[in-house]
Amino acid sequence: MPTLVMKFGGTSVANLDRIRRAAKRVGVEVAKGYDVIVIVSAMSGKTNELVGWVNETSPLYDAREYDAVVSSGENVTAGLMALTLQEMDVPARSWQGWQVPLITTSAHSQARIEEIPPENINAKFAEGMRVAVIAGFQGISPEGRITTLGRGGSDTTAVAFAAAFGAERCDIYTDVDGVYTTDPRICDKARKLDKIAFEEMLELASLGAKVLQTRSVELAMRYKVKLRVLSSFEEQSDEAGTLVCDEEEIMESNVVAGVAYSRDEAQMTLISVADRPGIAAIIFTALSEGGVNVDMIVQNISEEGRTDMTFSCPTDQVTRAEKALLEIKDAGELNYAELDADTNVAKVSVVGIGMRSQSGVAAKMFKVLSDEGINIKVITTSEIKISVLIDRKYMELAVQALHDAFELDKAA
Amino acid sequence: MPTLVMKFGGTSVANLDRIRRAAKRVGVEVAKGYDVIVIVSAMSGKTNELVGWVNETSPLYDAREYDAVVSSGENVTAGLMALTLQEMDVPARSWQGWQVPLITTSAHSQARIEEIPPENINAKFAEGMRVAVIAGFQGISPEGRITTLGRGGSDTTAVAFAAAFGAERCDIYTDVDGVYTTDPRICDKARKLDKIAFEEMLELASLGAKVLQTRSVELAMRYKVKLRVLSSFEEQSDEAGTLVCDEEEIMESNVVAGVAYSRDEAQMTLISVADRPGIAAIIFTALSEGGVNVDMIVQNISEEGRTDMTFSCPTDQVTRAEKALLEIKDAGELNYAELDADTNVAKVSVVGIGMRSQSGVAAKMFKVLSDEGINIKVITTSEIKISVLIDRKYMELAVQALHDAFELDKAA
């Protein structure tokens, strides 16, 4: 029988009623003839509660114990989902990560999936079981300890299962009904996309559109897993939600697929750094070792052998960045006059695979912002994305203006 | 290094503060030079919440999924306890049942422990780990599914570990400070016992004194594990609590060690049953197959080939007993005029190994009750126990009168 993977996030399994509703969706697919692999998250709020206990107990916790504690929420929903399906006369059973086994690296709390041997579950499908319910987010290390995959890891679990079982599709049920051209909360013309290319989704995900975990999209792209994002709170047809797929499967698309933004960005400027070879390496090695995720980097024109170096990083990493740079200053490895941190900025990006073949997108973007009187502080581009850092107060305006200018409210 | 097992029940690990307090107790034993195996229950209330969800989801649940769900509470406390100990610089790690592995039968939700191979944990002790924290109540079946040991199963886990590791003692930390001559809530002269024999504890446990799970006492008796019951809410010395031990270790003891009671008892009477060979076998086979735990049995004198058969069972099994007996009546296997159920009764028992060598205990008990005007409905005895069924309204009075008469407020 063909296999389908269905993943239900925390809000979709928040209580027994919602688990029942999710189980009914599963029943519909079973009735169509699919063998279904269901991936469940913990009931919403449960993982946060467990993480809170761990942090309160031990701020610098042993990640192996962290994983043992926080993985328990998914075990509860997996069992309850299996029981709910059984009540509906759908043959089902639950698997915890170690039972599958879903084998991961030993990088606790951010482990990567190494292998999912399909034999155990396939043997049960062969015996007539129709649904395998898998506790998401968790696996087992080569040392036999429980691992977790990092926040949002259940999306990655789902895609990995879809790849391992050659599933026809991986449906991600969540509290939104698909991927939008931009956030409907700040732009009322935002339109749901029927399809989006992996590369575009990847850029949107990494830019802060929280529908899917970035790693799950990477994995889906690598293994060509068709990924569908849809709402668990609406009646669904086969065409519901947004399909994330290979660009070849998308006949027509706008040049720009979506506008993304992130408030959670700080602009850091090192003023008057010596402009000599190797200085960038010193700075960004120190930041990387200090656990700072640097996003954009700009180096200004040099004057009299000194330059200003600007970069952006998540707001909550500003303290870490300051500490890392002060350490190398104190150690005499780097000299700078001042370190300026501006957390009053936001990043706005346009994303679209059409940019590859059509020029002028950047020019148009800059003109739109300029017409609105918005000053651009930093620019970065990739093949299918242009991002700018602007004053935070203009963020909504910028998103709306760009959405209008690129006519994202109209389908291609 | 000598090994000690310490078990903490749900109220002793009810929140992070209490886990910290329990961890300090563990630290004291580590400082004395013990390698410690800590068995933890779920935070109080957690298991009930999980059981509630399972029952609401599926009244006739698949016990394998029940076990997967309800075992998760212990995983949380095991991880948190290990983290707390690490914070106190005590080298510790957690083990879930399947990791040990604690191998059980496949009788889900009431599995029995088959084997605890000590190699994995001993290897860690050899490396310098000082505390192994074990999630109680759970194990793994030969099929690789999670099992649970039934309510109170963490006591049994603790004793089984003490036996497997040849522990010097198994300390059960709970919310009472030991085993009493009777329930202090209904008799203010109740006295804490310093020592009690396994056999006596076994009778008291099975009679409803809820300090220890019966199976854990059986196991301790079989493997001669010294068991100590003590409070996790008081400062402790080495002599605190009550030691449950071999009777040889008790120099002097009262003839009667304690008075136990149970409100949870119903008296069932089959009126006018044919008095012929095999009829008792038919009745009690049917009850046993119907899942009824029959306790006391009395058969009245036969008149004209008919007799009345009285037995007692837990109150919540009355419906089951009625169903089982009606089925064999309908099937023509048994004929009776009426089935009378009286749930307004209570069982009161006196227990003591001294009864073996001293006669007259039964006579004294019956006289005490008679002097108080209490009518005895059913009597059963064992070598070290006499139980009577009486009207429930006299229960407290009976307990107090017997406690006085046998002078249980005075040590031997």
Tens digit of each residue's pLDDT (9 = 90 or more) over B239-286:
789 999 998 888 777 889 999 998 888 999 999 998 888 888 899 999
CB contact under 8 A, A78 and B84: no
Give the residue from chain B lying closest to A120, CA to CA: B144
Q: What confidence score (pLDDT) does residue B354 get?
A: 87
In angstroms, the separation between the Cα of residue A348 and the nearest Cα of chain B is 41
Indicate the residue of A65, A78, A98 with minimum beta-carbon distance to B94.
A65
pLDDT (tens digit per residue) in B183-195:
988 999 999 999 9
CB contact under 8 A, B57 and A80: yes
Cβ contact, residue pair A62, B83, below 8 Å: yes
3-class SS string, B2-39: CEEEEEECHHHHCCHHHHHHHHHHHHHHHHCCCEEEEE
Could you give the residue ranges of the DSSP H alpha helices within A95-137? 119-126
Cβ distance A87 to B146 less than 8 Å, yes or no, reads no
Q: Do A16 and B65 touch (CB under 8 A)?
A: no
Contact across the interface for B79 and A69, Cβ inside 8 Å:
yes
Preferred mutation among A60, A65, A119, A134 to probe B, highest tally of B CBs within 10 A: A65
Q: Which residues in chain A touch residue B75, judged by CB atoms under 8 angstroms apart? A: 68-69, 71-72, 75
Helices (H), A190-340: 198-206, 214-223, 279-289, 318-330
Query: Domain spans of chain B?
Result: 3-175
In angstroms, the separation between the Cα of residue A99 and the nearest Cα of chain B is: 7
* DSSP 3-state of B97: helix
* Cα–Cα dist B193/B179, whole Å: 6
| Minimum Cα–Cα distance from B134: chain A residue | A68
Would you call B76 and A72 a contact, using CB atoms and an 8 Å cutoff?
yes
Give residue B279's pLDDT: 85
Residues of A with CB under 8 A from a CB of B: 16, 19, 50, 53-54, 56-58, 61-62, 64-66, 68-69, 71-73, 75-76, 78-80, 82-84, 86-87, 93-94, 96, 98-99, 144-146
Task: Pick from B20, B21, B61, B72 the residue to mutate for testing the A interface (most A CBs within 10 Å).
Answer: B72
Give the pLDDT mean for B32-51: 96
pLDDT digits (tens, 9 = 90+) for A304-340: 888 888 999 989 899 999 999 999 999 988 989 999 9
For A110-165, how does the pLDDT look when each residue is reduced to its tens digit (9 = 90+)? 999 999 999 999 999 999 999 999 999 999 999 999 999 987 799 999 999 999 99
Bridge partners (DSSP) listed for residue A390: A346
Mind telling me how many Å the CA of A84 is from chain B's nearest CA?
6
Calculate how close chain A gets to B320, using CA atoms only, in Å. Answer: 23
The pLDDT of residue A228 is 94
In this structure, are residues B142 and B103 in contact, taking their beta carbons and an 8 Å threshold? Answer: yes
Contact: B57, A16; criterion CB under 8 Å: yes
Cis geometry, peptide bond prior to residue A101 (ω within 30 degrees of 0)? yes
Mutate which: B13, B40, B49, B53, vs A, most A CBs within 10 A: B53
Q: What is the mean pLDDT of residues B128-144?
A: 97
Residues of A in contact with B93 (CB under 8 A): 62, 64-65
Mean pLDDT on A186-213: 86
Residue in A closest to B66 by C-alpha:
A79
Chain B residues whose CB is inside 8 A of the A76 CB are 50, 53, 69, 72
Whether B56 and A16 lie within 8 Å, measured CB to CB:
yes
Rg (CA), chain A: 23
What b/e readout covers B194-225, taking b as 16+ CB neighbours within 10 angstroms? ebbbbbbbbbbbbbbbebbbbbbbbbbbeeeb
Closest residue in B to A62 (Cα–Cα): B83
Q: Which residue from B16, B78, B96 is facing A57, i.e. has the nearest CB? A: B16
Residue B406 clears pLDDT 70, i.e. is over it = yes
- The sheet carrying B113-115 orders its strands as B113-115, B103-104, B138-140, B146-148
Angle between the A214-223 and A198-206 helix axes, to the nearest 10 degrees? 160
Q: What is the pLDDT of residue B204?
A: 85
Share of chain A above pLDDT 70, in %: 98
User: Across the interface, do B79 and A65 touch by the CB < 8 Å criterion?
Assistant: yes
* Chain B, nearest residue to A15 by Cα: B53
Query: A205 pLDDT exceeds 70?
Result: yes
CA A182 to chain centre: 15
Contacts of A73 in chain B (CB under 8 A): 72
pLDDT score of B381 more than 90: no
Residue B75 to residue B95: CA distance in whole angstroms: 8
Confidence of residue A236 (pLDDT cuts 50, 70, 90): low
**A-interface mutation test, from B19, B55, B69, B100, most A Cβ less than 10 A away:** B69
User: What is the spatial distance between Cα A79 and Cα A95, in angstroms, rounded to a whole number?
Assistant: 8
Average pLDDT over residues A377-406: 93
Report ipTM (2 d.p.).
0.80
Sign, CA dihedral B1-B78-B177-B227, equals negative
Taking alpha carbons only, the member of B231, B169, B162 closest to residue B32 is B169
Interface contact flag, B69 A84, Cβ < 8 Å = no
Q: Round to whole Å and give the CA distance between A205 and A219.
A: 13
Residue written as tokens 């496949």? B106
A244 CA: distance to closest CA in chain B (Å) = 34
pLDDT band at B238 (very low <50, low <70, confident <90, very high): low
Question: Could A84 and B56 be called an inter-chain contact, meaning their C-beta atoms sit closer than 8 Å?
Answer: no
Chain B residue numbers touching A56 (CB-CB < 8 A): 16
- Across the interface, do A83 and B57 touch by the CB < 8 Å criterion? yes
Note the CATH architecture for domain B3-175.
3-Layer(aba) Sandwich (3.40)
User: For position B274, what pLDDT does the model report?
Assistant: 85
Which positions in chain B touch A54 (Cβ < 8 Å)? 79-80, 83
Query: How buried is residue A212: exposed, middle or buried, by Cβ count under 10 Å (0-12/13-18/19+)?
Result: buried
Which pLDDT score, from 0 to 100, does residue B107 have?
Answer: 94
Contacts of A91 in chain B (CB under 8 A): none
- A98 contact residues in B (CB cutoff 8 A): 98
* Alpha-carbon span B322 to B301, nearest angstrom: 23
User: Residues B165, B171, B174, B180: is their CA dihedral positive or negative?
Assistant: positive
The residue-averaged pLDDT of B305-325 equals 91
Q: Do A58 and B86 touch (CB under 8 A)?
A: yes
Chain B nearest-CA distance from A205, in A, is 32
**Assigned token pair, B16:** 């992070």
Question: Does B68 contact A94 at a Cβ distance shorter than 8 Å?
Answer: yes
Question: Quick check: B86 and A65 CB within 8 A?
Answer: yes
Quote the CA–CA distance of A106 and A113 in Å, as a whole number.
10
pLDDT of residue A208: 60
Q: Per residue in A31-57, pLDDT tens?
A: 999 999 999 999 999 999 999 999 999
Among chain B residues, the shortest Cα distance to A145 is held by B99
Q: For residue A128, what are the contacts with CB-CB under 8 A and spacing of at least 6?
A: A91
Interchain CB distance below 8 Å, A76 and B19:
no
In sequence order, what are the beta bridge partners of B132?
A: B37, B93
Cβ contacts below 8 Å, chain A against chain B, sum to 105
- pLDDT higher than 90, residue B344: yes
Q: What is the mean pLDDT of chain B?
A: 92
Computed over every residue of chain A, the mean pLDDT equals 92
Burial A261-297 (b: 16+ CB within 10 A, else e): bbeebbbbbbebbebeeebbeebeebbeebebebbbe
Q: How many angstroms separate the CA of residue B141 from the nearest CA in chain A?
A: 12
SS3 B148: strand
Q: Give per-residue pLDDT as tens, A279-313.
A: 888 999 999 888 888 888 887 777 788 888 899 99
Q: What does pTM read for this prediction? A: 0.83
- pLDDT, position A100: 97
B76/B278 Cα distance (integer angstroms): 52
- Helix residue ranges, H only, B58-118: 63-70, 72-87
- In angstroms, the separation between the Cα of residue B65 and the nearest Cα of chain A is 5
Q: What is the pLDDT of residues B79-121, one digit of tens each?
A: 999 999 999 999 999 999 999 999 999 999 999 999 999 999 9
CA angle A222, A361, A409 (to 5 degrees): 80
Tell me how far apart the terminal alpha carbons of chain B are, to the nearest angstrom.
Answer: 36
- For chain B, list residues whose CB is within 8 angstroms of any CB belonging to chain A: 16, 19, 50, 53-54, 56-58, 61-62, 64-66, 68-69, 71-73, 75-76, 78-80, 82-84, 86-87, 93-94, 96, 98-99, 144-146
The number of C-alpha atoms within 13 Å of B110 and in the hemisphere containing its C-beta is: 2
Three-state SS sequence of B332-383: CCCCCCEEEEEEEEEEEEEECHHHHCCCCHHHHHHHHHHHCCCCCCEEEEEC
Closest residue in B to A60 (Cα) is B87
Compute the Cα dihedral for A241, A245, A250, A255 and give only its sign: positive
